[in-house]
Amino acid sequence: MNKHPDSSVFREDTQVVVSGRDTKSYGGLINPPVYHGSTILAESVETHNSRYLDSQDGEQVMVYGTMGNPTAWSLENAIAELEGGYHCSTYPSGLAAISVALMAFLKSGDHLLMTDSTYAPTRRFCNTVLRRFGVETTYYDPLIGAGIESLMRPNTAVVYTESPGSNTFEVQDIPAIAEVARKHGAILQLDNTWASPLYFKPFEHGVDISIQAATKYIVGHSDVLLGSVTTTKETWKTLRDCTWQFGQCVAPDDLYLAQRGLRTMAVRLRQHQQNSLEIAEWLRNRDEVRRVLHPGLPDAPGHDIWKRDFLGASGLFGVELKTFAKKAVEKMVDEMRLFGIGSSWGGYESLMLPVNVRDLRTASPWRFEGPLLRLYIGLEDVDDLKDDLYDGLGRLRKFKDNFSAET
């Protein structure tokens, strides 16, 4: 199982279909079978011991259930190939992937630079678990670019990025930050969930560790929790050892569903991109909207960097409304017909959620005056989504007369 077909000779749509698969190893089956198992029997003590040693050297051999099996390796190999990394490990959630990636490269007394636009659970992990273990976190403006050098310290071990940022969608200058991190011997980690392996190639831009909430676009159907971490050759062993030491592994049925989702990701992402850009442009012309926070739009924060470094845009973006009462906004969202109300994103259904992250931001100026909405554009007919938004914004104007503005 250590060898699988090299998909690098193919174009990316083909890579999405064939990467990580080795039909000869599965008796001709197109999809790798689901391997359930904890104990792995060996023919002899010598074989058992040699398998363990081989696994320590990076071989994909069956030793114990938590240390991988062909179902896991098929997906992990595919993700690593698509991201351009060395190896990949999977986790039972996106937050689990983030937590292990941070713990693997931090110790007591270290300093962490964390983007101020990070995913809220990542911030909680830094402010609770990492603080308890003696790691100091400094938050920085996501638009700082090469200026991050002024924040580096002799004990800065990790620089963590998320591009675009959660809810406010600032695009970070990853190559500039990577150059500074490398100069100071720090590990650069990136949450690459928004772009997926298809629309941002992290290792071409100097990233050492690429993290994804594979729950989103890789799974694509809102029915599996999954995270992944892809590494360079130099960082792989540290990440893998920490993963094993924390006993992190994923149920094989979830891995199988993720593989099925992966094979259609290129097709789905093109439609998400097309739909989201059309909706974003439509919203820009609405009187109720102050600004649309979509990296693909010219006036979005970091758009020039997005245009330079990214290969496409996903279906998630933000909307800053003009001044409307909180209750009015919530009432509008409550009565949407197609836009569901829920956490996460990346499935086929559209979602809408009011977000208030102003109190979480500690290092960057608050750039917004009105309330924020996070929109995820799914695979519905875009005209039906426009109709739903048209009705919702109309209700918002009516509600404004019934609710006084709240600060």
pLDDT tens digits in sequence order for the chain, 407 residues long? 344 456 778 899 999 999 998 888 888 888 889 999 999 999 999 999 999 888 888 788 888 989 999 999 999 999 999 999 999 999 999 999 999 999 999 999 999 999 999 999 999 999 999 999 999 999 999 999 999 999 999 999 999 999 999 899 999 999 999 999 999 999 999 999 999 999 999 999 999 999 999 999 999 999 999 999 999 999 999 999 999 999 999 999 999 999 999 999 999 999 999 999 999 999 999 999 999 999 999 989 899 999 999 999 999 999 999 989 999 999 999 999 999 999 899 999 999 999 988 888 999 888 899 999 999 999 999 999 999 999 999 999 888 666 554 44
Which pair of structure tokens corresponds to residue 316? 């998630």
Q: What is the DSSP letter of 359?
A: G
- Count the Cβ atoms, other than its own, within 10 Å of residue 262: 25
Domain edges within the chain:
12-262, 266-400
Q: Which has the closest alpha carbon to 219: 252, 266, 254? A: 254
Dist. CA 211–CA 200, nearest whole Å: 12
Kindly report the three-state secondary structure assignment for every residue of 196-227. HHHHCCHHHHCCCEEEECCCCCCCCCCCCCCE
CB count, 10 Å around CB of 221?
A: 15
Residue 84's Cβ-count burial label (10 Å; 0-12, 13-18, 19+) is middle
CB-based contacts of 47: which residues, under 8 Å, 6+ apart? none
Query: Tell me, what's the pLDDT at 407?
Result: 41
Residue 101 contacts residue 239 (beta carbons within 8 Å): yes
Which CATH number is 266-400 given?
3.90.1150.10
Q: Which of 1, 78, 86 is nearest to 35 (CA)?
A: 1
Q: Do domains 12-262 and 266-400 have the same CATH topology?
A: no
Intra-chain end-to-end CA distance of the chain, in Å: 59
Q: Among 164, 166, 376, which residue's Cα sits nearest to residue 279?
A: 376
**ω into residue 252 within 30 of 0, thus cis?**
no
CA-CA distance, 15 to 270, in Å (whole number)?
15
Closest C-alpha to 378, from 338, 330, 320, 343: 338
Query: Residue 315, Cα to own-chain centre: how many angstroms?
Result: 13
pLDDT for residue 2: 40
- Burial class from Cβ neighbours inside 10 Å (0-12, 13-18, 19+) for residue 12 reads middle
79, burial (CB in 10 Å: exposed 0-12, middle 13-18, buried 19+): buried
**Encoded tokens for 221:** 């159907």
Handedness of CA 149, 153, 154, 159 (dihedral sign): negative
Task: Return the ∠ at Cα 299 (arms to 293 and 304), rounded to 5°.
Answer: 100
CA-CA distance, 307 to 181, in Å (whole number)?
23
- The DSSP bridge pattern shows strands 187-191 and 156-162 to be parallel
Amino acid 406: pLDDT: 47
Residue 263's nearest CA partner among 78, 97, 76, 92 is 78
Comparing CA positions, the residue from 368, 309, 316, 358 lying closest to residue 177 is 309
CATH number at 12-262? 3.40.640.10
pLDDT attached to residue 403? 53
Please give the pLDDT value at position 50: 92
Strands 111-115 and 156-162: parallel
Instruction: Please tell me the distance from the alpha carbon of residue 312 to that of residue 296, in angstroms, as a whole number.
Output: 8
Nearest-angstrom CA–CA distance, 11 and 204? 17
